[in-house]
Structure 1
Amino acid sequence: MTKSNVVKQEVTNRDFKEPDVKHGSGTKLESLKRLIANGEDIATTHSLFSKADDEFIDLLRWENYTLIVDEVMEVISQLQVRKGDIQMMLNGGAIEVDEGGRVT
Structure 2
Amino acid sequence: MANQIPLAVRVRDALHRVTAGDTQRWVRVHELERALDRKIDPAVQAAVREAADAGWIRSAGGREILSVSITDEGIRVCRHVPLRRRPRLPHPARD
Bucket of the pairwise TM-score, normalised by the shorter protein: under 0.3
**Higher RCO, 1 or 2 (CA under 8 Å, sep at least 6)?**
2
Larger Rg: 1
Q: Which has the higher strand share?
A: 2
Instruction: Name the TM-score, length of structure 2 as normaliser.
Output: 0.24
